[in-house]
Structure 1
Amino acid sequence: MSRFLLPSTPIYGHLSPMVAVGRGLVARGHTVTVLTGRRYARLVREAGLDFWPLTAEADYDDARLQDWLPDRGRRSGVAAGRYDILNLFVRPLAAQHAALHAALADGPYDAVVCEAAFLGVLPLLAVPRADRIPVVGVSATPLALTSVDAAPFGSGLEPGSSAHTRRRNRFISAVLHGGPLRPVQTALADALTSLGAPAPDGNYFDQATRFDVTFQLAAPGIEYPRRELPPTVRFVGPLRPQPQTGLLPSSPLPPWWGDLDGNRPVVHLTQGTMANVDLSRLMVPALRGLAGTDVLVVAATGGRPLAQLEDQLGGPLPQNARVATFLPYDQLLPRAAAMVTNGGFGGVQQALAAGVPLVVAGSTEDKPEVAARVSWSGTGINLRTGTPSPQRVRRAVERLLAEADYRTAAQRLQTEIAGLGDPVEAITASLGRLVAGSDLEPAHPRPVLERHSH
Structure 2
Amino acid sequence: MRPTTVVAACPVHAHVSPLLPVARALVDAGHRVRFLTAERFRTEVEATGAELAPLPPDAGFDERTLDVDHPERAGRTGAAAMRWDLTELFIRRIATQVAALDAILDEADGTDGTVGALVFDPLFLGAFAITTRPPAQRPRTVVVGIFPSATPHPGVPPFGPGLTPMPGLGGRVRDALVRAAVERGALRPAQVAAVRAMRDIGARPPAGFLFGWAASADVTVQLTVPGFEYPRPLLGDTFRLLGPTGVPRPGSVTVDPATLPGWWSDLDGRTVVHVTQGTVANDDPAQLLRPTIDALADEDVLVVAATGGAPVENLGPLPANVRAERMLPYPALLPRTDVMVTNGGYGGVHWALAHGVPLVVAGATEDKAEVGARVAWSGAGVRLRGNRPTADRVRDAVRTVRTDPSYRASAQRLAEQIAASPGAAGVVDAVTASGPGSGVGGCR
The Cα of 1:341 is off from its aligned counterpart by 0.3
CA distance in 2, matches of 1:149, 1:435: 28
8 A Cα contact 1:69 1:87, kept in partner = no
SS at match of 1:34: strand
Amino acid at match of 2:151: L
- Structure 1, gaps ≥5 residues long: 244-249, 440-454
8 A Cα contact 1:342 1:361, kept in partner = yes
CA distance in 1, matches of 2:31, 2:319: 49
CA distance in 1, matches of 2:297, 2:372: 24
Amino acid at match of 2:284: D
Q: For residues 401-412 of structure 1, what are the structure 2 equivalents within 5 Å? A: 401-412=402-413
The Cα of 1:241 is off from its aligned counterpart by 2.3
Q: For residues 172-187 of structure 1, what are the structure 2 equivalents within 5 Å? A: 172-187=178-193
SS at match of 2:338: strand
Q: For residues 355-366 of structure 1, what are the structure 2 equivalents within 5 Å? A: 355-366=356-367
State the partner residue of 1:429.
429
Does residue 394 of structure 2 align to residue 387 of structure 1?
Answer: no
CA distance in 2, matches of 1:76, 1:184: 16
Amino acid at match of 2:140: P
State the partner residue of 2:277.
271
What is the root-mean-square deviation of aligned Cα atoms in Å?
A: 2.2
Amino acid at match of 1:17: P
Q: 2:118 aligns with which of 85, 107, 112?
A: 112
Q: 1:214 aligns with which of 213, 220, 236?
A: 220
The Cα of 1:174 is off from its aligned counterpart by 1.2
Amino acid at match of 2:163: L
8 A Cα contact 1:112 1:136, kept in partner = yes
Amino acid at match of 2:428: T
The Cα of 1:196 is off from its aligned counterpart by 0.9
Q: 1:260 aligns with which of 259, 264, 267?
A: 267
8 A Cα contact 2:80 2:186, kept in partner = yes
Q: After superposition, give the CA deviation of every residue in 1:49-104 in whole Å (9 maximum; x if it has no partner).
A: 32122222222111111244221113111111111111122111111111111222
Q: Alpha carbons of 1:162 and 1:393: their partners in 2 closer, same or farther (altered >3 Å)?
A: same
SS at match of 1:269: strand
CA distance in 2, matches of 1:56, 1:437: 29
| TM-score (normalised: structure 2) | 0.90
The Cα of 1:434 is off from its aligned counterpart by 3.8
The Cα of 1:170 is off from its aligned counterpart by 0.5
Does residue 162 of structure 2 align to residue 161 of structure 1?
Answer: no
CA distance in 1, matches of 2:283, 2:28: 35
CA distance in 2, matches of 1:2, 1:334: 40
8 A Cα contact 1:139 1:208, kept in partner = no
Amino acid at match of 1:192: M
State the partner residue of 2:252.
none
CA distance in 2, matches of 1:6, 1:389: 42
The Cα of 1:131 is off from its aligned counterpart by 2.4
Q: For residues 88-99 of structure 1, what are the structure 2 equivalents within 5 Å? A: 88-99=89-100
Amino acid at match of 1:72: R
8 A Cα contact 1:156 1:368, kept in partner = yes
Q: For residues 41-440 of structure 1, what are the structure 2 equivalents within 5 Å? A: 41-107=42-108, 108=113, 109-226=115-232, 229=235, 231-241=237-247, 252-261=259-268, 263-309=269-315, 313=316, 315=317, 317-420=318-421, 422-434=422-434
SS at match of 1:138: strand
Q: After superposition, give the CA deviation of every residue in 1:394-432 in whole Å (9 maximum; x if it has no partner).
A: 111111010011111111111222222x31111123323
Question: Which one scores higher on RCO, CA 8 angstroms, separation ≥ 6?
Answer: 2
Q: Which moved more, 1:151-160 or 1:25-34?
A: 25-34
Tell me how many residue pairs correspond in the alignment: 426
8 A Cα contact 2:140 2:436, kept in partner = no
CA distance in 2, matches of 1:18, 1:201: 26
SS at match of 1:110: strand
8 A Cα contact 2:273 2:301, kept in partner = yes
SS at match of 2:142: strand
CA distance in 1, matches of 2:23, 2:76: 36
Q: After superposition, give the CA deviation of every residue in 1:188-220 in whole Å (9 maximum; x if it has no partner).
A: 110111111113212100112322111100011
| TM-score (normalised: structure 1) | 0.88
CA distance in 1, matches of 2:216, 2:80: 26
Amino acid at match of 1:166: R
Q: Which moved more, 1:1-10 or 1:90-99?
A: 1-10
Q: Which moved more, 1:79-88 or 1:220-229?
A: 220-229
CA distance in 1, matches of 2:368, 2:276: 13
The Cα of 1:133 is off from its aligned counterpart by 1.7
Q: After superposition, give the CA deviation of every residue in 1:237-259 in whole Å (9 maximum; x if it has no partner).
A: 1124269xxxxxx9922222232
Amino acid at match of 1:32: V
Q: Alpha carbons of 1:328 and 1:24: their partners in 2 closer, same or farther (altered >3 Å)?
A: farther
The Cα of 1:370 is off from its aligned counterpart by 0.5
